[in-house]
A = this chain, B = another copy of it.
């Protein structure tokens, strides 16, 4: 086996993103944050790389040879670096574990198939040898979706899809393109952009996540209010399962029974590996206009966004920060510049102090943006909004992929920082907001680590919207995972209790699996089990994810 370089850039083993990326907070902003949550000034760096433990287990040499025959010896890696880099996703519990040096049990090997035929052979080998398989795109899951769980099987291999990454030519009449599962955000936009198109899918993980991962987890991007979440963009896909290939043909619409495509989209690797997708693209916008708006309250802002969405003026990007997140966001931006002071004065004079910041973005050709923006701005004004022009929009755009870097900065400084998200209908949105916010504050306080909790609306739909929560508190160094589990559980219970979905776009993975029965009911889970048992009878595909274990009768 070799230690050939990765086909696509890998992230820091202990955190997010490009190892060369700096980032963080200005001192004054961080001091203010510390003061608000009563955290001491300290450094809690990850353990040195050489102290990371990967586990003793090895892949039997017979299996190694079979896999090497299938994909070529150089594409079966069991070196320490590859195993560490594929040992976890990028959720808070993943990072706690990795920063503490606990990569074990890492996958025994990482396999890099070059195409569908090689995927098929790897699945056959793993099926007959009883080895678990974890499909791996960008490895950016924040819900434990790529954790190398064995679930009764002896070994696990990670199936890194980064060599299956071709971005096909655009069908210029149908505006579709076939894209290999391993292709990542920047490569896709670069390739489509060269021909004048865009997919328009920009999740916060964009720089590292793959289209296969987006499709397998029902990803939403920052412009998905306009472009549609990935499930609206996928017109067809192919999945390799342990019993053979499944193809959902790319039809614009069909009435041929329950939708096969919708059984595969969101399947999180438990039915098989998505190998390619056909995706709807659009002409690349010549104009992008993101603007800031202030509202006197979260409720007023939410009603304004609802009026936009239901009034035929749907923007491409729509976000609305609640009062606390607006304050937090201004604080973290180090808002002591002259411009920021002038802005604050304007907002105060106009009666919007202590209000909520919204970002509304329009994309398209100049005429289309002007037309839609005029319509939308009229609605927002009539709904009580105060236009702040493009500066807040530009600031948001500059920092749109920075969140995960900031998390690393805060984790390096002894803090507990986490996000979670949900969605519900408009008539239940404020109730859901209050319930989850309350549960987070209460759960954090109950651990003796009171925190800051912010929330924003991130995506609009005719019948409702999503809520995205961020919270920051002091970390319990003795029991960071217990602290996380307690707070996470309280939030999930509050979401379910208030009629929200357990996840709007982070997916289920391991972390949300205990709430799947609340989400889809006992028979909904049984339907998933039936699909799993038919397509993966040996249970080798991504064990422990999505489907909760069967409860044994007492």
CA distance A505 to B424 in the complex (A): 29
CA distance A244 to B219 in the complex (A): 31
A338 at the interface (CB under 8 A from B): no
A residues 170-184 touching B (CB-CB < 8 Å): 171-176
The reply to whether A252 and B368 form a contact with Cβ atoms under 8 Å apart is: no
Q: Which residues of B contact A464 (CB under 8 A)?
A: 174, 251-253
CA distance A230 to B395 in the complex (A): 40
Whether A462 contacts B524 in the complex (CB less than 8 A), given A253-B229, A259-B262, comes out as no
Residue of A220, A244, A527 most packed against chain B (CB within 10 A): A527
Q: Which residues of B contact A105 (CB under 8 A)?
A: none
Q: Which residues of B contact A526 (CB under 8 A)?
A: 534-535
A490 at the interface (CB under 8 A from B): no
What distance in Å separates the Cβ of A211 from its nearest Cβ neighbour in chain B? 15
CA distance A427 to B547 in the complex (A): 39
Mask of A435-451 contacts with B, CB within 8 angstroms, 1/0: 00000000000000000
> 15 A-B residue contacts at CB 8 Å?
A171-B427, A174-B428, A175-B463, A219-B255, A247-B521, A256-B501, A256-B516, A257-B266, A257-B516, A257-B528, A259-B259, A259-B262, A260-B520, A280-B462, A526-B535
CA distance A503 to B217 in the complex (A): 28
A residues 508-522 touching B (CB-CB < 8 Å): 508, 512, 516, 519-522
Q: Which residues of B contact A265 (CB under 8 A)?
A: 258-259
Tell which of B267, B459, B506 touches A253, judged by Cβ atoms closer than 8 Å.
B459
Whether A530 contacts B534 in the complex (CB less than 8 A), given A265-B258, A267-B258, comes out as yes
Which B-chain residue is minimally distant from A312 (CB atoms)?
B368
The reply to whether A310 and B175 form a contact with Cβ atoms under 8 Å apart is: yes
Q: Which residues of B contact A176 (CB under 8 A)?
A: 425, 463
A507 at the interface (CB under 8 A from B): yes
Q: Which residues of B contact A259 (CB under 8 A)?
A: 231, 259, 262-263, 265-266
Whether A503 contacts B461 in the complex (CB less than 8 A), given A241-B523, A262-B259, A427-B171, comes out as no
A108 at the interface (CB under 8 A from B): no
Whether A257 contacts B523 in the complex (CB less than 8 A), given A174-B425, A463-B235, A530-B530, comes out as no
Q: Which residues of B contact A249 (CB under 8 A)?
A: 501, 519-520
The reply to whether A501 and B251 form a contact with Cβ atoms under 8 Å apart is: yes
What distance in Å separates the Cβ of A228 from its nearest Cβ neighbour in chain B? 9
A residues 359-409 touching B (CB-CB < 8 Å): 364, 368, 371, 375
CA distance A516 to B249 in the complex (A): 12
Tell which of B175, B219, B255, B523 touches A245, judged by Cβ atoms closer than 8 Å.
B523
What distance in Å separates the Cβ of A282 from its nearest Cβ neighbour in chain B? 8
The reply to whether B218 and A463 form a contact with Cβ atoms under 8 Å apart is: no
Q: Which residues of B contact A262 (CB under 8 A)?
A: 258-259, 262-263
The reply to whether A257 and B268 form a contact with Cβ atoms under 8 Å apart is: yes
CA distance A180 to B464 in the complex (A): 22
A542 at the interface (CB under 8 A from B): no
Known contacts A246-B524, A257-B266, then 20 further A-B pairs from the complex at CB < 8 Å, ordered by chain A residue: A173-B425, A174-B426, A174-B428, A235-B425, A235-B463, A246-B523, A249-B520, A250-B425, A251-B501, A253-B423, A253-B505, A255-B266, A255-B507, A260-B520, A260-B527, A263-B263, A263-B527, A312-B364, A527-B535, A530-B533
Mask of A261-294 contacts with B, CB within 8 angstroms, 1/0: 0111111100100000000100000000000000
What distance in Å separates the Cβ of A92 from its nearest Cβ neighbour in chain B? 18
CA distance A249 to B51 in the complex (A): 47
Tell which of B220, B252, B424 touches A251, judged by Cβ atoms closer than 8 Å.
B424
A37 at the interface (CB under 8 A from B): no
CA distance A424 to B231 in the complex (A): 19
The reply to whether A264 and B258 form a contact with Cβ atoms under 8 Å apart is: yes
